[in-house]
Amino acid sequence: MRLLNCDSVTSSRKANKTTHLPLLLANIGQLLTLQSSSGRPGPRRGSDLKELGVIEGGAVLCLGGKIVSVGKTKDALRDPWVKTKRKKILEIDCAGQVVLPGFVDSHTHPVFMSPRLVDFEKRIEGASYEEIAAAGGGIRSSLEGVRKAGKRDLAEKVLALLREMADLGTTTVEAKSGYGLTLESEMKSLEAIRDAASHWPGTVVPTLLGAHVVPGEFREHPEKYVEIVCREMIPRAAKRKLARFVDVFCDHGAFNAEQTEKIFQAAVENGLNVRGHMCQLTETVLKPFLRFEPASFDHMDHVNDADIAELARRDTIATLVPGANYFLGLKEYPPARSFIDAGVPVALATDYNPGTSPTLSMPMAMSLACTQMKMSPAEAIAAATINGAWALRVAERKGSIEAGKDADLTLFAVDDHREIPYWFGGSHCGLTVLNGVVWRNLKRGGFVGDRDPAPRG
């Protein structure tokens, strides 16, 4: 058996040579498969959300970027194929550690140039998100940087973020445009996402967010801007296959319900799926949008009971992004318990962006979900993996550890899965596997100590 030499894996931060070697993660302390025992199809809801499908002493065998078998280590080692190929298998001893599906971060805004530090300070002094935006800060203040930037600079920034996400256990990322807000700069942003994704072994799902806010030059004529989104941006992004989804920030100060419906209609006519920033600042009636079969409604701080009941009957995911509430210093968080207890499928995401949630850490989002929204650690893990995959419509390939799915896994150097949201503000992620590529978190050197996923004995 070829044991993993961690130094050779860590020596390159790019997709490395180990891609095509068969990979066996063995002796896993807790393997969270996220397989559902209920067998109910569709996203996890209600009590199914906390089912992690734990195997103690588990093993996962991956080949050609796919998971080929999942079970107990003793059974894996008895497998005739493993026995004959053992010398060629890259084996990682995961004793005393937790392995789970790579996180699916189903809501990020990674294409921007600079942090918004003045907004940060103003908010500390007491200004609200809307007041800062009205005074010239907010989303509009990020536009100039992106409009002036070269595509290569944007792509390099995005790639650096994707690498950091892999360090934190994320293997699938939704990435939105939305800080250019001209036809040219939105396409440039989507191209930067595509270029960065081609240098990263994980999976990136691109979203056009041309309807983030009405840019200043259209302030007096928002309808003209909506026309540009519908007639120019959406058809161009669809034709060039630069986006899978169209998103709209539907709220006070951004786009109203009528404009949002128009944009969703254009998306569907151009063969793109829809998702929405909904009910972040104010309540919006969601029912009229359901005819577009949105993959996800995100934020969801202010939702009425009738819509909660309606969503419980659908597969549209309520994607909660508590990092935004934390960073804006809000006292209230989205009502996760009301959603889960009513049967609404819930996902968690970082909402990485320069204005409301500058974090790439899914474990941080999960920790906030537990402490501020009273989700259990198990619910937070399912919301960050399998339901994130449903929110991106990739659940047939992602989000759980099952034979036939993509080899997207992450390893945490902890004994118990509840420690993942427990240890907040740092990272215990030691290793990530993205489509079969082994990615070692360099920053953890020396910290993993005797839990290092290196061969032992």
- CB closer to ligand NIG, 36 vs 142: 142
* Residue 189 interface partner, choices ligand NIG, Fe ion, none, CB cut-off 5-8 Å depending on type: none
In this chain, which residue has its C-beta nearest to ligand NIG?
355
Residue 249 engages ligand NIG in binding (rule: CB under 6 A): yes
Cα–Cα separations (whole angstroms), residue 3 to 24, 88, 229, 375, 390: 10, 9, 53, 38, 35
3-state DSSP call for residue 410? strand
Pairwise CA distance, residues 229 & 235, whole Å: 9
Pairwise CA distance, residues 175 & 353, whole Å: 10
- Measured from the CB of residue 353, what is the shortest distance to Fe ion in angstroms? 6
* Residue 356 interface partner, choices Fe ion, ligand NIG, none, CB cut-off 5-8 Å depending on type: ligand NIG
Q: Contacting ligand NIG (CB under 6 A), which of 355, 377, 388, 453?
A: 355
Pairwise CA distance, residues 404 & 389, whole Å: 15
Pairwise CA distance, residues 323 & 282, whole Å: 18
- Measured from the CB of residue 11, what is the shortest distance to Fe ion in angstroms? 36
Q: Which residues pair with 357 in a beta bridge?
A: 353
- Measured from the CB of residue 12, what is the shortest distance to ligand NIG in angstroms? 33
Q: Are 79 and 380 in contact (CB under 8 A)?
A: no
- CB closer to Fe ion, 163 vs 277: 277
Residue 139 engages ligand NIG in binding (rule: CB under 6 A): yes
Residue 353 engages ligand NIG in binding (rule: CB under 6 A): yes
- Measured from the CB of residue 277, what is the shortest distance to Fe ion in angstroms? 5
Q: Are 172 and 388 in contact (CB under 8 A)?
A: yes
Half-sphere exposure of 373 (CA within 13 A, CB side): 35
Q: Contacting ligand NIG (CB under 6 A), which of 29, 53, 138, 377?
A: 138
Residues near 450 by Cβ (< 8 Å), separated by ≥ 6?
none
Phi, psi torsion values for 79, nearest 5 degrees: -60, 130
DSSP secondary structure of 11-70: T-SSS-GGGGS-EEEEEEEEEE----SS---SS--GGGGG---EEEEEEEEEETTEEEEE
* Residue 355 interface partner, choices ligand NIG, Fe ion, none, CB cut-off 5-8 Å depending on type: ligand NIG
424: burial class by Cβ within 10 Å (0-12, 13-18, 19+)? middle
Residue 324 engages ligand NIG in binding (rule: CB under 6 A): yes
Count of residues that interact with ligand NIG, criterion CB under 6 A: 13
- CB closer to Fe ion, 98 vs 278: 278
Residue 172 engages ligand NIG in binding (rule: CB under 6 A): no
Residue 128: other Cβ atoms inside 10 A: 14
Q: Are 99 and 31 in contact (CB under 8 A)?
A: yes
Count of residues that interact with Fe ion, criterion CB under 5 A: 1
- CB closer to Fe ion, 200 vs 327: 327
Residue 351 engages ligand NIG in binding (rule: CB under 6 A): yes
- Residues 297-316 touching ligand NIG, rule: CB under 6 A, are none
Q: Are 383 and 369 in contact (CB under 8 A)?
A: yes
Residue with tokens 């994607």, as numbered in its chain: 319
- CB closer to ligand NIG, 212 vs 398: 212
- Measured from the CB of residue 280, what is the shortest distance to ligand NIG in angstroms? 5
Quick one: which segment of 36-44, 71-79, 200-208, 350-358 binds ligand NIG (CB under 6 A)? 350-358
Residue 359 engages ligand NIG in binding (rule: CB under 6 A): no
Q: Contacting ligand NIG (CB under 6 A), which of 140, 236, 262, 277?
A: 277
Binding mask 328-357 for Fe ion (x = CB under 5 A): -----------------------x------
- Residues 57-116 touching ligand NIG, rule: CB under 6 A, are 109
In this chain, which residue has its C-beta nearest to Fe ion?
351
**H or E segment and range at residue 431:** strand 429-434
Interacting residue ranges for ligand NIG, rule: CB under 6 A:
109, 138-139, 142, 249, 277, 280, 324, 351, 353-356
